[in-house]
Amino acid sequence: MARLMMQITTSIVIPVPPAVQALVVPLLRRYTDATLPSHLPAHISVLFPFVPAAALEAACQRLRGLCAQVPPFDVTLRGYNHFPRAVYLELSDPGPVRALFRRIQAAFPDCAPYEGAYGPDIIPHVTAAQFASEAACAAAEFPPYTPVTFRVARINVDYGVAESGLPWITYATIPLGGVPGSPPDTPGQPA
């Protein structure tokens, strides 16, 4: 059997609660073009791509110290919005996520969001569907949406093979503000 050479990519995300997963995952399955990647559960991207896989352990050590200084915060997903070829759930106040991104990005200046494709900042969101064309995006219908508010008390550092269709794996869960009762930091091992 031939061994496939795969480039591991890393990412920092905010996991979203089951109520959001229950809405978004079926939409992603229904509307996301089969040629586009769908490899992560629904989430809010903080920084993608992150560091090379070989640098994850040291980067997570830095993130632990940095995130201990960031208090947990609430996020409200208020409804649908769209990019030219994607529909997403929009945050009513993206400020806290942007502040977290900017703090992390300042500590890792070589990690440009989306490799700089959309500029130096982010638009925090939860992707609900991706389309191969703007026309397909405009024609899609979405169910009514009731805003969901949840507490962000941790980030996940994930790794996987981009655009492979393979699921990504959480390498570490890092609490914000050293919150008691947060899931423990759980390092994994990228292959």
Name the nearest CA neighbour of 148 among 178, 176, 175, 128. 128
Q: What is the pLDDT of residues 132-149, one digit of tens each?
A: 899 999 999 999 999 999
What does the pLDDT read at residue 179?
57
For 159, the enclosing helix (H) or strand (E) is: strand 154-161
Top-confidence residue, 87 or 28:
87
pLDDT band at 5 (very low <50, low <70, confident <90, very high): low
- The pTM score is 0.87
pLDDT band at 176 (very low <50, low <70, confident <90, very high): very high
Residue 128 has pLDDT above 90, yes or no: yes
Q: How many CB atoms lie within 10 A of CB 64?
A: 14
| Mean pLDDT computed over 71-79 | 98
What does the pLDDT read at residue 34?
59
Ranges of each domain in the chain: 8-175
Q: Which CATH superfamily is domain 8-175 in?
A: Cyclic phosphodiesterase (3.90.1140.10)
